[in-house]
Amino acid sequence: MIPPDGLTDEEVKAVLENSKRIMVIGMSRDPAKAAGEVPLFLRSVGYEIIPVNPFAEQISGIKAYKSFSDFQETVDVIDVFRPSVELPTLVDELKGAYRVLWLQEGIYDDSVQRLKGKLVVWNRCMMKEYKRLILKDYHSPRFNGRAKA
């Protein structure tokens, strides 16, 4: 059983509204898989996507990196599409400038508690949360204008 991440809708919405660059660890070349569909959706609504896949040079025309450490610039969010069993090793490797670690649905390990000073979102789909928290306000005068759907 995966425990809740304890974040409110307002906190999750703030992550989505205040992020621009998302590194996707485990992005798939197959747009029919969640690890391909979700990042491409996020790209379509204005986020910059940085794919990490050791078996791809590029994904959907975007330069792909072999590992997290191959990308030397800052990112706002690291979005993980890897099995939970890989998280302890991944957490040990995560260094550098990022604000949020986002673990997709079904992904969690206690090792994420070691990430001091980082916000961790787990067992949530970024695309579903975006649609639920941002697109629901699309016709509202408060809408931030990111999506063009």
The pLDDT, as a whole number, for residue 59 is 97
**Tens of pLDDT, residues 32-70:** 999 999 999 999 999 999 999 999 999 999 999 999 889
- 3-state secondary structure (DSSP) of residue 100: strand
The pLDDT, as a whole number, for residue 149 is 38
Segment 18-44 shows an average pLDDT of 97
The two three-digit tokens of residue 130, written as one number: 């975006």
**Tens of pLDDT, residues 116-133:** 889 999 999 999 999 999
Which pTM does this prediction carry?
Answer: 0.88
Fold of 9-137: Rossmann fold (3.40.50)
Q: Where are the domains of the chain?
A: 9-137
Scored b (16 or more CB within 10 A) or e, 1-36 reads eeeebebeeeebbebbeebeebbbbbbbeeeeeebb
Asked if 134 and 111 touch (Cβ cutoff 8 Å), the reply is: no
